[in-house]
Amino acid sequence: MDWRANTLDRVRTLIFEAAPGITEEQKWRKPLNPAGVPVWSLSGMICTGEIYKDKVKLTFMQGAALPDPGRLFNAPGTGATRRAIDIREGENVDAAKFKALVKAAVVRNNGAAKPKTKASTTKAAPVKLLSGGNPQIAKADGDAPVQAYIAGAPVWKREACQRIDALIVRAVPTVKKSVKWNSPFYGIEGKGWFVSYHIFDKYVKINFFFGRKLKPMPPVASKDPNARYVHLNEDGVLDEALFMEWVKQAATLPGWSGH
């Protein structure tokens, strides 16, 4: 049996072990998923399991709202609420952590299925967009304000920011996050910040604070003699392997300690 089918079978077993009552149905027939993409549900959709040429992608419908202490999410999902786990050949998802994630998704679905109170129906105010479409987000530490920033970004820029965030976390799972001056910041506890990004009209500017020390140096110069930039345009061209290498290198350097 193909490794991807084996992976999907193992995932299926873990999902059914995690919560009795979960159902599976097949939807969206595709060339690599001729029988359809499996969709697992209980009080709403939990996740899907889709086969690609080089990976199996597990997309959690409400992944952005789920606790993920095991840092299983390593890829963005489409839209602001979804998060995904990409499993490649030779990789295995941690069974206990994965089942905990499935259980959290069920709890989330059960809570969402309860009748809404009057207070719960109040809509959050839309995020204000500044020059270039950059979201205005109050200074705060943690993943939540970063995800609020990403969710508030317009169209292709949102997808670009999701991609940047996922690659940084994949490269440095212990990264800490914050939003400062309407920009997401990423750093290492006790060492400072090593990268941030900001939305402009035609690109997302990724700022490596000490990029001149990276090998090879990121391509775009800065007025700051220490910094180097990467510009991610709407065409989405980004060497992900090289970008993750820059992130790993930057995380080992003393970071910027600005507050």
* Domain regions of the chain by residue span: 3-113, 131-252
A 10 A CB-CB count for 179 gives 22
User: pLDDT by residue (tens digit) across 161-211?
Assistant: 989 998 998 899 889 999 999 999 999 999 999 999 999 999 999 999 999
User: pLDDT by residue (tens digit) across 218-239?
Assistant: 999 999 999 999 999 988 788 9
Close Cβ partners of 106 (under 8 Å, ≥ 6 residues apart): 18, 19, 22, 42, 43, 46
Note the pTM of the prediction, 2 decimals: 0.56
Are 220 and 235 in contact, with CB atoms under 8 Å apart? no
Q: What is the mean pLDDT of residues 135-142?
A: 93
Rounded to whole angstroms, the Cα distance separating 76 from 168 reads: 11
Q: What is the mean pLDDT of residues 84-111?
A: 92
Percent of the chain with pLDDT over 70: 92
**CATH says 3-113 is which class?**
alpha beta
Paired with 84 in beta bridges are 59, 75
Q: Does the pLDDT at position 113 exceed 60? A: no
* Of 60, 48, 65, residue with least CA distance to 8: 48
What Cα–Cα distance (Å) separates residue 167 from each residue in 44, 50, 74, 178, 204? 29, 20, 7, 16, 15
Task: Give residue 159's pLDDT band: very low, low, confident or very high (50, 70, 90).
Answer: confident
| Fold designation for 131-252 | Aspartate Aminotransferase, domain 1 (3.90.1150)
Q: Do domains 3-113 and 131-252 have the same CATH topology?
A: yes
Residue 123's pLDDT is: 55
φ, ψ of residue 111 to 5 degrees: the values are -65, -40
- How far separated are the first and last CA of the chain, in Å rounded? 53
Paired with 228 in beta bridges are 208, 221
- Give the strands of the sheet with 228-233, arranged side by side: 140-141, 176-180, 183-188, 192-199, 203-208, 228-233, 220-221
